[in-house]
Structure 1
Amino acid sequence: MKVCIIGGVAGGATAAARLRRLDETAGIILFERGDYISFANCGLPYHISGRIKERGSLLLQTPERFWSRFRVKVRTGHEILTIDAPQKLLKVQNRKTSEQYTESYDYLILSPGAYPLVPPIEGSDAAIFMNLYDIPSMDAMIARIENHPVKEAVVIGGGFIGVEIAENLVARGIKTHLVEMLDQVMTPFDPEMAAIIQARLAAGGICLHLSDGVKKIVGDAPGKVVLNSGTELGADLVVSAVGVRPETRLAREAGLKIGATGGIAVDAGMKTSDPFIFAVGDAVETTHLVGGMQVLAPLAGPANKQARIAADNLCGIGSRYPGSLGTSIVKVFDLQAAATGLNEKTARKNNLPYQALHLHPLNHAGYYPGAAMMALKLLFGIPEGRILGAQCIGADGADKRIDVIATAIRAGMTVYDLEQLELSYAPPFGSAKDPVNMAGFTGGNILRGLVESVTYDQTEAMENSLFLDVRTNEEFRAGSIPQSIHIPLDELRERIHELPQDRHLIIACRTGVRSYAAYRILKQSGFKQLSNLSGGYLSYCHYTNRTPPAAGQNETGSGAGCRS
């Protein structure tokens, strides 16, 4: 069996290694048009800042090591021009010599990846305009920074790459602007969760420009960027990070089926519409595990798994790829921001009945030094309680909570199952009631009818409603939801007569825990119109872009500025 693989990095290199482990006799040729067979593209921004010091640590494999270990013939600097699927022939060009030749195959694995989008911006041909997507582009950006006086930079795009690049430019002492066309960064997160990320970016010195785009780039070293709003920004460096698109040219020209998302259509065994051609990685379309819709998942984890599955099926092992959850995480200075499954926007778009809840638990036992509050959001189906998605942001521990919930989603668990998960506990690492358990308890209370829970955005449409704040006097003075009435929880039973029974009371505390206790008191005292504000005053601040105050401090707007 002769197998040709187009493209290296996560998909192609993994497929080649797995294939060799399964079949010592197969002939394997891997074509890579670049000079590097396998590199850590997720680490590129961190070498820009020097956080990853050694450039060589980003190079995961070399052709020589791949041949020595796996007997895979690697041809870097070779580009596939065409695929003749009926004849099973590849037209190949050596990019260094321009020599062209044909290569036959019995089976073909496509791992072409995705290419960076370049926005149609006037002046984008300037030398200061750059992308970051591979080793050469990283080298070029570092050379630009080191050989020119780069004091101010503009990053276009507020997704994963844009946020990471912006943070790492700031780490180099460069004043950095982040420009995003949408009204939030990081679209896998719902707006009120993205607000936490935005506040941390601004606090870290990044100048945020939301709901705005780049109109043109003027000049070169130094230059300036003109936004659609008319704002002008100084720019010694402009980095485009507006996203990627699947690289499907070869597949299209070979007559392979392309899915509705623009990715290569594959079955669960990673086989394309041609029975002798498989495809993996960023270029393929996959099924969302929760929503069932077709999606693109340009992530390293899915690419590696798909590559193994393609190799398995070539060797008679009927492995199947179940779909993707889009589980992801990004570092935002000292915060972790992680997500899995569906967010509210996607759940609504797919007409899924759901309930959202917010929690603000500590990442480990509060009495152990260093405990920090996290923001955790969970979506679950109504009425069965099936977990649909989650988002978690915190200084530490957000990663493992999302990983647990991603596993729970994969297993088809409900909020009732989260209640009973037995997770590791010691004071430095967690709590006896882990935040994941707490999310289950909260969701279970909702489904059992013990509480009616609402998020702040839902309250705006609630008629005849009134906010009841049950925090302490000190907390209330530091900041409150406008037009709230205030009765501290510990005084509620004695002052219950002060509350109107003809109004819908929306009960709030700092996080939603004390307000739940107040809800149960009032419910069992005859009050009929009650709701608990999910996530409490902290989530209200996130929904309204306010910075939550500490006790004794006044609240402030989170702002979108930067340090001069």
Structure 2
Amino acid sequence: MTHKVVIIGAVAAGMSAATRLRRLDEAAHIVVLEAGDHPSFANCGLPYYVGGVIPERDSLLLHTPQSLAARFAIDVRVRSRVTAIDRAARTVTVTLADGSTYDEAYDSLVLSPGASPIVPDIPGASRALTLRDVSDVDRLAAATADAGTALVIGAGFVGLEVAENLAHRGLDVTVVERAPQVLTALDPELAIRVEQRLTARGVRVLTGASVISLGPADAVVTTADGATEKVAAGVVVAAIGVQPEGSLAATAGLALGPRGSILVDHDMRTSDPAIFAVGDAATKTDAFGAEPALIPLANLANRHGRRVADVIAGRPHRAAASVGTAVVGVFGLTAAATGRSERRLAAEGRPYRAIHTHPLDHAGYYPGATQMALKLLVDPATDKILGAQGVGEAGVERRIDVIATAMAGGLTASSLADLELAYAPAYGSAKDPVNMLGYVAENLAAGETPAVQWRELMDAEDEPVVLDVRTAAEHARGTVTVPWQAPLVMPLDSLRERHHELPRDRRIVVHCQVGQRGHTATRLLRQLGYDAVNLDGGWLTWRDAQASLTREPVPASAA
């Protein structure tokens, strides 16, 4: 008999499941029920249509019910909201746009309802627009037509994409973020670079702040210092996160996970063997923890849609845990991350070792090279890669993707040194930035070059000697300063002749611009009998960290 599969939700995960299942089983009867007006649309492209980067709205519409029927023989029904599941009868109740209902039977049911944007519960919240589907983007595009100002609530990946694209539309944009920084997936010394790019392009950023009410054309915001102010807001977009759409599963009595998500096993099967769940509404297997996780990313949704089709078709598959890899572009600056951040590792009480580097994206002698900031998090006991972050003009996403692949393959941090990566002067360096992270990891694992983090130096109780081994000219442009000592400069090339000027009874923290000369100086001093350690990431990491702690709010006049 023909196996009937009903799929609820026709975007990333749902349509990946439907099309993969058709390629595996020509005889399967596949019905997809979508509450909205459009199946298979490019929801990740919505902000870029608002900003005019994607000029044609139709570019967002990847398929229609008719094209899916013609190519895949899939019965896709839009404006068809599933309002109930009868697990005993194996039917779902479908409510149409006119209010009429009917029951649809299934042999296997796949839940892919996604997640809905969270709107703050504040006075005037009905003004806040969200970006989930094509109807939302139409409303936002219309609202920006005569709005000179915009307020974006939330500075995560989507919030920053929206802010940039509203600025492209010519609006004066303010971003309000409750956390003390933008992009909480990054650690503060990297995230500050993104904030600086936003402010440099005229976007006002208020961190540690909350919107407490929305008026007809403005908003009342509580700022980080506890004061309140009115912010012009001709249009308001809520981008503070998403809530899994687990209500249908809950009503049906299925087991739930964190925040009302749908709990699934490694086969994406729910507590009912005939019902599966995929996409943003379903839990994921966390690569770094035993508890189910919520990781609302498009690539995972598509991957799990494909895998659930394999399970339904009876094909073996390899369940892969999720590390959470994401990237965003902000006015020409790329920020990307994979795995855990230092903040999250610290909150979990998990031991880690941090490595900061500041390499060029390609060979420095080839025109156009730009500097990036990379950070690697490593388990000090096993050398396992726990996470990585990067910010820069070019080449960042490539390096984070390489590290995410290394994590999937179980490579250690030191193993990054031995990766054979494509090289030509226009594309990289003979020692690729990923290799360089591996070299540093090797040195730390072997104990050859002990390192200290910027925060550890700030909190050091032994008041070590801080030694700048850069040139006098570099030192003059900015240096590490500590309250217990005046800056001390001893350029690396003169260190062999001048090291006797240093005390032997105190720890010495060496720093250069990015950490490389500091490594050489630390090796030299340790072999000469000094208790020397290298400041990880050098002056640039210190500078960015201090900026993340001491930055002043950008005044409205500068927006």
Aligned to 1:75: 77
Aligned to 1:85: 87
Aligned to 1:142: 141
TM-score by length of 1: 0.95
| d(CA) in 2 for partners of 1:251, 1:108 | 11
For the residue of structure 2 that corresponds to 1:28, the secondary structure is: strand
CA separation of 1:175 and 1:276: change in aligned 2, threshold 3 A: same
Equivalent in 162, 167, 174 of residue 177 of structure 1? 174
Aligned to 2:478: 479
Aligned to 2:427: 429
**Alignment gaps of 5+ in structure 2:** none
Shift of residue 336, structure 1, vs aligned partner: 0.8
CA contact (8 A) 1:268 1:320 kept: no
| d(CA) in 2 for partners of 1:156, 1:370 | 35
Aligned to 1:116: 117
Shift of residue 226, structure 1, vs aligned partner: 3.7
Which amino acid counterpart does residue 50 of structure 1 have in structure 2? Answer: G
Shifted more, 109-118 versus 226-235: the winner is 226-235
CA separation of 1:394 and 1:226: change in aligned 2, threshold 3 A: closer
CA separation of 1:546 and 1:12: change in aligned 2, threshold 3 A: closer
Aligned to 2:54: 52
Shift of residue 320, structure 1, vs aligned partner: 3.5
| d(CA) in 2 for partners of 1:459, 1:329 | 31
Shifted more, 370-379 versus 263-272: the winner is 263-272
| d(CA) in 1 for partners of 2:396, 2:433 | 10
Aligned to 1:510: 513
Which amino acid counterpart does residue 392 of structure 2 have in structure 1? Answer: G
| d(CA) in 2 for partners of 1:476, 1:92 | 70
| d(CA) in 2 for partners of 1:74, 1:236 | 38
CA contact (8 A) 1:289 1:410 kept: no
Deviations 1:430-464 (A, max 9, x none): 11000000000001000111011111011123222
For the residue of structure 2 that corresponds to 1:340, the secondary structure is: strand
For the residue of structure 1 that corresponds to 2:44, the secondary structure is: helix
Pairing 1:406-555 to 2, within 5 Å after superposition: 406-464=404-462, 465-482=464-481, 483-527=486-530, 529-545=531-547
| d(CA) in 2 for partners of 1:24, 1:427 | 49
Which amino acid counterpart does residue 246 of structure 2 have in structure 1? Answer: T
For the residue of structure 1 that corresponds to 2:474, the secondary structure is: helix
For the residue of structure 2 that corresponds to 1:474, the secondary structure is: helix
CA RMSD of aligned residues (A): 1.5
How many pairs does the alignment contain?
548
Equivalent in 249, 252, 264 of residue 251 of structure 1? 249
Shift of residue 227, structure 1, vs aligned partner: 3.2
CA contact (8 A) 1:291 1:350 kept: no
CA contact (8 A) 1:415 1:443 kept: yes
Aligned to 1:32: 34
Equivalent in 60, 63, 70 of residue 61 of structure 1? 63
Which amino acid counterpart does residue 138 of structure 1 have in structure 2? Answer: V
For the residue of structure 2 that corresponds to 1:271, the secondary structure is: coil
Shifted more, 224-233 versus 317-326: the winner is 224-233
Shift of residue 337, structure 1, vs aligned partner: 0.5
CA contact (8 A) 1:224 1:236 kept: no
| d(CA) in 1 for partners of 2:548, 2:100 | 61
For the residue of structure 2 that corresponds to 1:287, the secondary structure is: coil
Shift of residue 293, structure 1, vs aligned partner: 3.6
| d(CA) in 1 for partners of 2:497, 2:429 | 33
Which amino acid counterpart does residue 509 of structure 2 have in structure 1? Answer: I
| d(CA) in 2 for partners of 1:558, 1:67 | 57
Which amino acid counterpart does residue 158 of structure 1 have in structure 2? Answer: A
Aligned to 1:191: 188
Which amino acid counterpart does residue 118 of structure 1 have in structure 2? Answer: V
Equivalent in 130, 153, 157 of residue 154 of structure 2? 157
Deviations 1:140-174 (A, max 9, x none): 1111112x2x1111110011111011111111111
CA contact (8 A) 2:188 2:548 kept: no
**Alignment gaps of 5+ in structure 1:** 548-555
CA contact (8 A) 1:326 1:340 kept: yes
For the residue of structure 1 that corresponds to 2:496, the secondary structure is: coil
| d(CA) in 1 for partners of 2:341, 2:402 | 17
CA separation of 1:173 and 1:195: change in aligned 2, threshold 3 A: same
Aligned to 1:552: none
TM-score by length of 2: 0.96
Shift of residue 262, structure 1, vs aligned partner: 3.1
Aligned to 2:275: 277
Identity of aligned residues (%): 45
| d(CA) in 2 for partners of 1:192, 1:480 | 16
Aligned to 1:333: 331
For the residue of structure 2 that corresponds to 1:543, the secondary structure is: helix
Which amino acid counterpart does residue 145 of structure 1 have in structure 2? Answer: T
| d(CA) in 2 for partners of 1:293, 1:494 | 56
For the residue of structure 2 that corresponds to 1:331, the secondary structure is: strand
| d(CA) in 1 for partners of 2:232, 2:259 | 37
Aligned to 2:311: 313
Equivalent in 212, 218, 221 of residue 223 of structure 1? 218
CA contact (8 A) 1:353 1:381 kept: yes
